[in-house]
């Protein structure tokens, strides 16, 4: 249930209702082209279109700054999968070369330090392994033969080694204890957690290895460690770093007691020759992760959260002097979450991306004094990929919006101008009727300002009336921004002739940490009032059909749909909840990360001090007032919000005789990731909404 500027926020408090537009270039283009239905092939965006979008990621700039290496996923709806291959594009003439072409998936591609080779991981064998080839026309050579496969590969700076992670058997199995019963299927545990996101805990732990870059024997640097690096479930290679002299690595790991109840990860230093790891951050109590050595070797930068148990604390950028070991917070004057970060080549500054009022902007921060500046302030999401040139003249950065899939851009540091490098979905998107997005601020019930996005249907006519979707954000601490989402795609919603309201209600980043923290302990309080206030304000518009209002969301947004179903006082005609939290009491005993309800809810439901929270905020406590049609969906492999939450809610609707339907996806997790399942879900989604919101 996942992954923020006080001065900016304070200024907003003095405003009344503001209705100012902030349009991207794409929005303006969309307004100009939206009426061109007569163009051959033009059509509204569909679920099939969304599931056909090519997905680019992981940009890696060559050492000489002439080429960009990246991964691209090409969907195959018929095969119900995405094929991932490695590509290189020349920054000079934009010529694209496809590096891998086989049916296997390739990922984690990296340049050798001299730029003459490319290494990547391929799934072509029994398990993912590291391969190396000369650039541009070499033949791939397999480097690793790890029994359980290789992940999170990185070259050493001197080019002589690779680091990677691989699962290692650390505990005995039930089959080993009871060999006389080989057909028995049993899981046994004597401590929590027993699950992580979508998998059951087993006998394996992810260890850190090194291997010569020419091949040979791999060495386990975390031998006998009963812990994982990187952190599960979403940690990757960014949580491991080579020193500039190639003599040591730093890895991220959580080794404390009460594993399911704390977030106290640390950074550990280990020699490439092995030996005992040194804890570099013993005094820091929350998540510490994502180490980055400065090019000159004098500094170590990393992300840290202050409080143990709070996974959505402010993401601080910390700096360690490697000689004195002194740690300071570099980003202390920036009330936002520091995201993906890279060093400048001269080691005098760092570049990073941070969420900011519905957008994600690139920043530069100086090592000397922590002063910072934004490098681009337009309403785009500049994230999901960041690389700095060795000569210090430009960045490569991913950019996307609600109506534009991610492409890579060159950000020139002399004047902050941007130049598009890739345009992977030009053919597909050129035939789509565009929609317009608008920024609007509304006043909540306590007078505070709430930033909302509004997405209008294609060919929007203000003289017509449209049904309206109120989208409830999940996370709960997750900003609604200019993102081309592959599950909750606002372009797709609007393209089905809905006005889409997206309120950045209390309890999410991008608007200062105080705003982010405001949902903890108050799930059904002011965050829900923000959603209702935004709904009521936009419903005053003449183009909104008040008999066609609906609300929906997933995870914490699914909770909002369940909570609103018992508290909306007749506003909405239909609800949709995907993987929503319904019963906070049963959720406490079935989710796999106990630190989450311990922080958000105050602790266990049986403790007297917490009973008021569960009574006032758990959606199931308001089931007696349910009377509105509801569509519920869930994945059986969702261990974060187990599918039983959706079953409980569906039972309520059925027993009360409410028009309702449940969609259960046996192989999906907290997300619907497969194309055919998504298309079916989308079809049911709009069929259900249309039935109750469109006359």
Average pLDDT score over residue span 549-553? 98
| 392's tokens | 């210090």
Question: Catalytic site residue 401?
Answer: no
Average pLDDT score over residue span 82-97? 97
| Banded model confidence at residue 6, pLDDT cuts 50, 70, 90 | very low
- pLDDT one-digit tens code per residue, 368-396: 999 999 999 999 999 889 999 999 999 99
Same domain, 648 and 578: yes
Average pLDDT score over residue span 196-221? 97
Nearest to 111 by CA among 93, 135, 95: 135
- pLDDT one-digit tens code per residue, 421-470: 999 999 999 999 999 999 999 999 999 999 999 999 999 999 999 999 99
Task: Give a yes or no: residue 222 inside a domain.
Answer: no
Average pLDDT score over residue span 282-302? 98
- pLDDT one-digit tens code per residue, 296-318: 999 999 999 999 999 999 999 99
Residue 41 pLDDT: 83
Average pLDDT score over residue span 174-184? 97
Which residues, at least 6 apart from 273, have a Cβ–Cβ distance to it below 8 Å? none
Distance of alpha carbon 333 from its chain centroid, rounded?
Answer: 25
**Where are the extended beta strands (E) located within 116-183?**
117-122, 129-134, 141-142, 151-155, 161-169
Same domain, 456 and 565: yes
| Banded model confidence at residue 12, pLDDT cuts 50, 70, 90 | very low
CA distance 127 to 134: 23
Last residue of a domain, one of 142, 173, 200: 142
Residue 21: pLDDT over 70: no
Question: Catalytic site residue 638?
Answer: yes
Same domain, 506 and 608: yes
Residue 383 pLDDT: 85
> CB count, 10 Å around CB of 28?
12
What residue numbers bound the domain in which 71 lies? 55-142
Residue 9: pLDDT over 70: no
**Which CATH number characterizes residue 575's domain?**
3.40.50.1820
Q: At what angle do helices 526-538 and 556-565 cross, to 10 degrees?
A: 70
Residue 695 pLDDT: 79
Catalytic residue among 357, 555, 577, 633: 555
Same domain, 105 and 37: no
Last residue of a domain, one of 142, 167, 184: 142
Average pLDDT score over residue span 498-524? 98
Task: Give a yes or no: residue 331 inside a domain.
Answer: no
Nearest to 542 by CA among 470, 469, 466: 466
Average pLDDT score over residue span 217-224? 97
Residue 17 pLDDT: 33
Length of the chain: 695
Kindly report which listed range (54-63, 256-265, 491-500, 619-628) carries the lowest average pLDDT score.
256-265
Q: Measured between alpha carbons, how far is residue 572 from residues 237, 260, 528, 565 in Å?
A: 44, 38, 14, 8
Same domain, 575 and 646: yes
Same domain, 623 and 681: yes
Residue 15: pLDDT over 50: no
- pLDDT one-digit tens code per residue, 573-591: 999 999 999 999 999 999 9
Task: Give a yes or no: residue 278 inside a domain.
Answer: no
Q: Which residues pair with 396 in a beta bridge?
A: 387, 410
CA angle 147, 153, 156 (to 5 degrees): 120
CA distance 632 to 108: 36
Same domain, 574 and 652: yes
Q: Which residues pair with 253 in a beta bridge?
A: 266
Residue 216 pLDDT: 97
Counted domains in the chain = 2
Last residue of a domain, one of 127, 142, 157: 142
Q: Are 104 and 124 in contact (CB under 8 A)?
A: yes
| Banded model confidence at residue 613, pLDDT cuts 50, 70, 90 | very high
Same domain, 523 and 575: yes
Q: Are 641 and 591 in contact (CB under 8 A)?
A: yes
| Banded model confidence at residue 267, pLDDT cuts 50, 70, 90 | very high
Catalytic residue among 207, 638, 646, 682: 638
Task: Give a yes or no: residue 223 inside a domain.
Answer: no
CA distance 163 to 218: 9
Q: Which burial class, exposed, middle or buried, applies to 695 when counting CB atoms under 10 A from its CB (0-12, 13-18, 19+)? A: exposed
Same domain, 27 and 65: no
Q: What percent of the chain has pLDDT over 70?
A: 94
**Where are the extended beta strands (E) located within 563-651?**
574-578, 630-635
Average pLDDT, the chain: 94
- pLDDT one-digit tens code per residue, 437-451: 999 999 999 999 999
Residue 24: pLDDT over 70: no
Question: Catalytic site residue 134?
Answer: no
Catalytic residue among 577, 670, 674, 682: 670
Same domain, 573 and 470: yes
Residue 618 pLDDT: 98
Task: Give a yes or no: residue 441 inside a domain.
Answer: yes
Task: Give a yes or no: residue 244 inside a domain.
Answer: no
Task: Give a yes or no: residue 434 inside a domain.
Answer: yes
Residue 253 pLDDT: 98
pTM for the full predicted model: 0.92
Residue 29 pLDDT: 41
Q: Are 336 and 365 in contact (CB under 8 A)?
A: no
Task: Give a yes or no: residue 295 inside a domain.
Answer: no
- Which pairing describes strands 466-472 and 544-554: parallel, antiparallel, or unpaired? parallel
Q: Which residues pair with 574 in a beta bridge?
A: 550
Same domain, 17 and 106: no
Residue 407 pLDDT: 98
Residue 531 pLDDT: 98
If DSSP codes are grouped into helix, strand and coil, which group holds residue 57?
strand
| Banded model confidence at residue 22, pLDDT cuts 50, 70, 90 | very low
Residue 536 pLDDT: 98
Residue 33: pLDDT over 60: no
Q: Are 642 and 194 in contact (CB under 8 A)?
A: no
Nearest to 341 by CA among 370, 360, 317: 317
| 604's tokens | 């266990």
Same domain, 516 and 595: yes
């Amino acid at each position: 249930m996942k992954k923020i500027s006080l001065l900016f926020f304070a200024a907003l408090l003095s405003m009344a209702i503001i209705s100012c537009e902030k349009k991207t270039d794409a929005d303006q283009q969309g307004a100009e082209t939206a009426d061109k239905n007569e163009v051959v092939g033009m059509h509204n965006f569909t679920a099939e279109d969304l599931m056909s979008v090519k997905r680019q990621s992981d940009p890696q700039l060559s050492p000489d700054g002439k080429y960009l290496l990246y991964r691209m996923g090409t969907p195959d709806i018929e095969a119900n999968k995405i094929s991932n291959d490695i590509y290189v594009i020349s920054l000079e003439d934009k010529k694209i070369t496809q590096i891998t072409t086989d049916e296997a998936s390739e990922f984690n591609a990296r340049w050798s330090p001299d730029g003459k080779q490319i290494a990547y991981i391929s799934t072509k064998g029994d398990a993912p392994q590291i391969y190396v080839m000369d650039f541009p026309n070499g033949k791939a050579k397999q480097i690793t033969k790890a029994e359980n496969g290789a992940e999170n590969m990185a070259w050493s700076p001197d080019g002589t080694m690779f680091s990677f992670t691989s699962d290692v058997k650390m505990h005995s199995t039930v089959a080993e204890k009871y060999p006389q019963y080989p057909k028995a299927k049993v899981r046994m545990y004597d401590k929590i957690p027993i699950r992580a996101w979508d998998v059951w805990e087993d006998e394996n732990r992810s260890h850190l290895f090194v291997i010569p870059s020419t091949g040979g024997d791999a060495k386990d640097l975390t031998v006998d460690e009963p812990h994982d690096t990187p952190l599960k479930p979403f940690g990757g290679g960014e949580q491991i770093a080579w020193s500039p002299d190639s003599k040591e690595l730093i890895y991220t790991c959580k080794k404390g007691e009460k594993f399911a109840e704390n977030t106290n990860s640390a950074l550990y230093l280990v020699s490439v020759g092995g030996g005992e790891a040194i804890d570099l951050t013993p005094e820091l109590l929350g998540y510490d992760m994502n180490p980055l050595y400065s090019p000159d070797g004098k500094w170590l930068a990393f992300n840290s959260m202050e409080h143990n148990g709070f996974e959505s604390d402010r993401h601080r950028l910390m700096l360690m002097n490697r000689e004195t070991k002194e740690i300071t917070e570099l980003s202390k004057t920036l009330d936002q979450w520091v995201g993906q970060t890279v060093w400048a080549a001269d080691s005098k500054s760092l570049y990073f991306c941070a969420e900011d009022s519905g957008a994600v902007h690139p920043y530069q921060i100086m090592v000397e004094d922590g002063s910072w500046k934004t490098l681009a302030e337009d309403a785009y999401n500049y994230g999901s990929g960041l690389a700095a040139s060795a000569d210090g003249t430009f960045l490569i950065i991913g950019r996307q919006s609600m109506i534009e899939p991610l492409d890579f851009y060159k950000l020139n540091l002399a004047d902050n101008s941007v130049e598009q490098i890739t345009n992977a979905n030009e053919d597909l998107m050129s035939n789509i009727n565009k929609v317009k997005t608008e920024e609007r601020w509304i006043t909540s019930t306590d007078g505070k300002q709430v930033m909302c996005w509004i997405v209008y249907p294609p060919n929007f006519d203000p003289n017509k009336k449209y049904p309206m979707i109120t989208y409830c954000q999940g996370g709960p601490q997750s900003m609604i921004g200019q993102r081309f989402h592959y599950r909750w795609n606002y372009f797709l919603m609007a393209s089905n002739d809905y006005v889409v309201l997206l309120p950045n209600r209390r309890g999410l980043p991008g608007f200062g940490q105080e705003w982010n923290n405001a949902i903890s302990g108050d799930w059904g309080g002011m965050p829900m009032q923000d959603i209702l206030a935004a709904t009521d304000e936009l419903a005053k518009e003449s183009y909104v059909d008040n008999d066609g209002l609906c609300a929906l969301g997933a995870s914490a947004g699914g909770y909002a749909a369940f909570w609103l179903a018992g508290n909306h006082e007749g506003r909405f005609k239909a609800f949709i909840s995907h993987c929503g939290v319904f019963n906070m009491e049963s959720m406490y005993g079935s989710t796999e990360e106990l630190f989450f309800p311990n922080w958000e809810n105050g602790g266990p439901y049986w403790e007297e001090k917490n009973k008021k929270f569960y009574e006032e905020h758990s959606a199931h406590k308001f089931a007696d007032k349910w009377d509105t049609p509801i569509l519920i969906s869930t994945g059986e492999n969702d261990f974060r919000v187990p599918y039983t939450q959706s079953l409980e809610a569906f039972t309520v609707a059925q027993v009360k005789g409410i028009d309702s339907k449940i969609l259960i996806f046996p192989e999906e997790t907290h997300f619907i990731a497969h194309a055919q399942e998504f298309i079916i879900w989308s079809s049911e989604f709009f069929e259900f909404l249309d039935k109750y919101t469109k006359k």
